[in-house]
Amino acid sequence: MKTVIKTNGLSKTYTNTAVPVHALKNVTLEFKEGEFTAIVGPSGSGKTTFLNVIGGLDKPTEGHVVIDNVDIATMKESQLFDFRLRHIGFVFQAYNLIPVLTAMENVSFIMLLQKQSKREMEKRAKEMLEQVGLSDKLDIRPSQLSGGQQQRVAVARALASKPNFVLADEPTANLDTESAFNLLDIMARLNREENITLIFSTHDQRVIDRARRVITLVDGAVDKDEHFERN
């Protein structure tokens, strides 16, 4: 299988605190195409920092992040913006939908920034909203959707531009049990059927039980890297 992300000696230290915080320590990992990985560990273990660094939202203090044979750790911010736009999908705990836009417009937003044609954007947005079970909510704004529905719109938006992989930071944290299971069913199906690479940071056992790879971080370092057979 093709390697989609490779980190080598990845470290991140925050120095704008009274005492330096070593959020990541020498993390070296590879992620293959089509993997469904959960990054787990106690609060403060470095899960979100790891996602932010491999997603190009934060710079490492040391080390490399190689995506499509490009080391994004050396990129300027303007280059990173364009790279994220074309290669990485994000799903955030807080949904981060644009309140004045409809579900379809939210899903189309990344493709609009990519300057895709209106016809292509509409076609893909409809397809993705249908995939996440929201084909009847195309013209509805976020305030009229439940939390679970908003998160499904966020998933459709993350996948619509066909990224190399999707990073999801605690995507089920604000959802009730039924909504969380529905979301996980959708993402697990898309992972299987479209071979989409998923990397979650999570405390949620429901996510951990679905993941085929579970990486445990403790104090910013890899403590365990386990693989599981899942249906």
Q: What is the pLDDT of residues 73-119, one digit of tens each?
A: 889 888 998 899 889 999 988 888 999 999 999 999 989 989 899 99
Q: Which tokens sit at 4? A: 């989609």
How many Å from the N-terminal Cα to the C-terminal Cα in the chain?
A: 19
Q: What is the pTM of this model?
A: 0.91
Our CA angle for 179, 182, 184, nearest 5°, is: 110
Q: Which CA distances in Å does 21 have to 15, 45, 220? A: 7, 11, 10
* Half-sphere exposure for 48 (CA within 13 Å, toward CB): 10
Output the pLDDT for position 95. Answer: 83
pLDDT < 50 regions, the chain: none
Specify the residue for token string 């679905």.
210
Task: Compute the distance between CA of residue 220 and CA of residue 11 in angstroms, rounded to an integer.
Answer: 8
Output the CATH code of domain 3-227.
3.40.50.300
Whether the Cβ atoms of residue 47 and residue 167 lie closer than 8 Å to each other: no
Which residues, in sequence order, are CB contacts of 219 under 8 Å at separation 6+? Answer: 22, 25, 44, 45, 46
Q: For the chain, what is the total number of helices (H) and then of strands (E)?
A: 7, 10
